[in-house]
Structure 1
Amino acid sequence: MAKRAKLVNDIVELVPILQIFSTKTYREVYESLLEGWMTYNELRDRFGDSVDEALKILKHAGMLEVKWRMPKDPGDTPQKEYHVSYTHLSANFYTSLKDLNKILEVIFLSDDELEKIVSRIIEEINMGRMSVPHISRSLQLDPLFIRATAKKSLKLNIKGQLVELSKDEEI
C-alpha cells in the first residue's frame, strides 16, 4: 500500500477526520477500506447499519475513493466499491490553543447538543442568512465554532464563509 497524506490547511478540516476515529465502528470501517476495496453490501454485512454514516463522514472529509466493480456474471449490474488511500496527515496551519479547544469542543459534542445547534443554523439558513459571520452574530457563537459544527454535521456544508444545506447525495 502506498503511503499518501491528506493535506489539511484549515483546522476545521480536522473535524471529520477526528470524527472518523471517534467510534470503534468508524475506525474499523476506515481500516477495512484502507486494506482494500469493498462494496457497500460487503461493508454492511460486516459492520451493519452504521456503515452508512461512516461512509458519509469519510466522503465529507474528502477521504473516500469510489470506483465501479464489474460483475462476475454478464447479466448482473456493476456495483460501487469504496477505498480510503490516506495513511498520513499533513497539517499546515497555525492556531491558538483557544481555537484548538473550540474544535475539540465541537468534536466532543453529544449528538443531541450537535442537533440543537445544527437546527438553529438551519433556521438561519432558511431565513436567508448563510454567511458565517452573520450566523455567529445571530446565534452568539464563535465563527470557528459555527464552521466546525457545519463541518461535523452531515446536514450542512461549508463553502468559504457560507454555510449551505447538504444535498442528499448518493455515497
Structure 2
Amino acid sequence: MASYAHLVARERCPGCSAEIAGLTMDLIGFQWGYCPSRQPWNDLFYRVGDAIRWRLDDKGRIPPWVYFVGALQGGNVGDPSARDLLVRALDLNGYGLTCAACGMSDIAISIRGGHIVGLEPGLADCDIAVVGPDGQMHPRPDWDHHPMPEIPKVRSRTLATGEGLVIAGKRAP
C-alpha cells in the first residue's frame, strides 16, 4: 500500500492562477521523501519552503526507496541525492489534481535544492521528473513504480534533510 507526504497550502493552478478547488483541508499529497502513512499525519505536514524530510536508519544513514517495517508502512520514497524535481500533486484519494477552472490535470509539486517551492505544470507521462542544471525536465517513469523493499524494524525516529542534517521537532511515527 502506498504511503504519502502532505503539503498544506492554498496553492493556485500553475496554468490559470485560479485557486485549486476541492482540496480536503488544503492538503496536497505527494510521494517523495519520508512518507509516513497512507493517511495524513498532522505532525509531518509540509509547508511551502520546507526541506524534504528523510527518515534515518539506526546507523544514521538515509536509506532510499524503502518501506520501514511497522504498522503505518511509512517509507523513504525516492533518493535524497535528487534535489531538483517535480513530483505529481495528488488529492487525498491518491488521484492527480485537476484544476476546475482550466482543466489542467498534470500538476506537480516543485522541489528545488531539496525544498518545496510550490506548484508547476507536471509531465503527462510520469509522476516524477528531475530538473537538470540547464532547467530541462528529465522524465523518470522508471521511478513511478520503483521497487520499495521493506527493511527490518528501525528504532530511530529521526528525520533529516537530504544532506543528513537532523530536523529538530519532527519525528517519524
TM-score under structure 1 normalisation?
A: 0.24
Bigger-Rg structure (1/2) = 1
Higher strand share: 2
